[in-house]
Chains A and B, each alone.
Chain A
Amino acid sequence: MKTSALHAELVKLHRAPIWLAFVALPLVAAAIGTFNYVSNLAILQDGWFDLWTQHTLFSGMFFLHALIGASCSWLMRLEHRGTNWNQLMTAPAGTLRILASKLLAAWLMLGVGLTVTGALFVGCGKLAGLPGLPGPEYVQWIVLAWVAGLASIACQLLVSLLIRNFAAPVGIAVIGGLVGFFLHAYDKGLAWPYGLVVVALNSNGNGALSAGQLIPFLAATAVYTVAALGIATLIMTRLDVRTGS
């Protein structure tokens, strides 16, 4: 039988309390965004698009990165507690495979978070009385944000590998998201791994990714992801396994 580090990670997600955050945080972001939208209808007259910018303004700037930070902290803290690194590192699965499995698990979790974000966007829009349904471009933005999330996740796994505490890496993720948001405002979103999600979401209404921007966007995502994963693998293979926290 073939070993499956990814299946092992997915089993660990059973009844995981972290799932609560994946409903609560998008809900808070949607509530704030909808409240802003409804309160400023006089100036926000672009229907679904204005609701989207209000929703994702907070998601992109703050909540999605908090979610990424929390999921990575949780996935790494599972191993930091007790002697779990011993079990994981004595299994016949390579270090890169173990980290890649955590990356994929966190990516699937982000997929859930973004699906909830999308569903809340549509639900809140209907509650706010918007006509019809949002166009397919919103689905495209969510999918691109999911792809871009790989870079943030890889960086956060590295941060959570080095900082064994739960909250500090989440704080770093939030700061990363804020820096990304401001860099995107100056059209430098691709220069920072945490800026990619903001770029993909088009949350400040600067304009969606064009076909020409797609290649640099995907390349930047791949470079940040591979670099962060590579550094984490190097650290784990070179250093002694440390247990307990």
Chain B
Amino acid sequence: MNCCIQTDGLTKTYGDTEVVSSLDLAVPCGSVYGFLGPNGAGKTTTMKMLLGLVHPTAGTATVLGTLVTPRNRLQVNAHVGSLIESPSCYPHLTARENLEVVRSLRGLPKSSIDEALATVRLDHTGSKPVRAFSLGMRQRLGLAAALMGNPELLLLDEPTNGLDPAGIQEIRELIRSLPAERGCTVLVSSHLLSEIDQMSDHVGIISHGQMVWQGPLSALHAQARHWLELHTTDDDRAAQLLKASRTDEGWVRVRVRDDESVARMTLGLAREGIGVVRLEERHEDLEDLFLALTGTEASL
């Protein structure tokens, strides 16, 4: 697997507190990698170390094939767009002027400003200073700044913060489309499992500074346990015959097996004169998995 970000034992300690512990992050090129964890898990600190904003206490980070060091930080960052913590902006300037600052710093053509403003739909803001922007508009401006110049890698820290539901959906779709449309790899952090589930194809779950799970999102889904719940004309007997448990709602719960076993089970019940009136497949959802992996609520 070709990785655009690879860390090896990345660690950051503040005083006696280890906020990131021996983190081995592997972000495949061309993926949208969801970096998931409760608030304070170490997501932002990790992203700051990848950008050279924070110096690691131990370990290394390789970004776009280059080992990040204070000396080559600029070379690496020339190909990376980022939105870390909250959007950076100068409130007395307009959206266009703010992006002009970014354009100058990154040495991009003038046209990159119009492209970025149109992408996040801020092209109508004219001479309105950013101080008059809503939180959602500022977030869009931060995204526009990160997208300028079509970077090879985007690091987005909770990019949908402050957006309304329509805006959240729009930004999720934009992020999802980036690998295909711009050939960009995206590392996006969130404390919302549902958000990562909708946006990413790879996921890393961090808790108390440690990576507790990492891999394709499909593999995480596959880890979820599956079972069947049924209602019959005689649930007590059915539970007894199938050696199954009962749920609080009275359903008979049986471990899911292959289709053939399910067919044999229903025929067996029929032979005992028990009719199956409801048969539903259930599975553990990602929130349960997240809870099990991190020991916290799915959304904090």
Contacts and interface: CB of A to CB of B under 8 A. Distances in A.
Interface of A: 1-5, 7-8, 11-12, 14-17, 78, 82-94, 237, 240-241, 243-244
B100 interface: yes
A12 B98 CA distance: 8
B90 A241 contact: no
A16 B92 contact: yes
Interface residues of B, number: 34
B109 interface: yes
A227 B292 CA distance: 55
10 contacts: A3-B104, A4-B104, A15-B92, A78-B90, A82-B88, A89-B52, A90-B51, A90-B84, A92-B107, A243-B85
Given A85-B53, A89-B52, 15 more contacts: A1-B109, A8-B101, A8-B104, A11-B97, A11-B101, A14-B93, A17-B92, A82-B87, A84-B88, A87-B105, A89-B51, A90-B84, A91-B106, A94-B74, A240-B53
8 interchain residue pairs of minimum CB distance: A87-B88, A91-B105, A3-B107, A92-B78, A8-B104, A241-B53, A7-B104, A1-B107
Nearest to A2: B107
Given A14-B97, A82-B89, A88 B105 contact: yes
A3 B97 contact: no
B106 A3 contact: yes
B241 interface: no
Contacts of A5: 104-105
A238 to B, nearest CB: 8
A241 B86 contact: no
A241 B100 contact: no
A11 B109 CA distance: 16
Nearest to A16: B92
Contacts of A91: 77, 102, 105-106
A118 B93 CA distance: 30
Contacts of A16: 92
Given A1-B108, A90-B82, A11 B70 contact: no
Contacts of A4: 104-105, 107
Contacts of A83: 84-88
A12 B86 contact: no
B122 to A, nearest CB: 17
A7 B101 CA distance: 8
Most A CB within 10 A of own CB, among B80, B88, B108: B88
Contacts of B77: 90-92
A244 B85 CA distance: 10
Nearest to A86: B84
Most A CB within 10 A of own CB, among B84, B90, B108: B90
B85 A86 contact: yes
Given A5-B105, A86-B53, A93 B74 contact: yes
B55 interface: yes
B262 interface: no
A58 B92 CA distance: 32
Given A2-B107, A93-B105, A84 B53 contact: no
B54 A92 contact: no
Contact of A92 (B74, B85, B86): B74
B231 interface: no
Contacts of A240: 48, 53-55
B73 to A, nearest CB: 8
Contacts of B97: 11, 14
B247 interface: no
A90 B80 contact: yes
B75 interface: yes
B40 to A, nearest CB: 16
Given A82-B89, A92-B77, A87 B107 contact: no
A83 B89 CA distance: 8
Most B CB within 10 A of own CB, among A12, A85, A87, A244: A87
Contacts of B52: 89-90
Nearest to B108: A1
Nearest to A10: B104
B145 interface: yes
Interface string B12-56: 000000000000000000000000000000000000100111110
A90 B82 CA distance: 8
A87 B145 contact: yes
A92 B70 CA distance: 12
Interface in B92-122: 92-93, 97, 100-102, 104-109
A140 B142 CA distance: 46
A16 B97 CA distance: 13
Nearest to A98: B105
A160 to B, nearest CB: 16
Most A CB within 10 A of own CB, among B85, B101, B129: B101
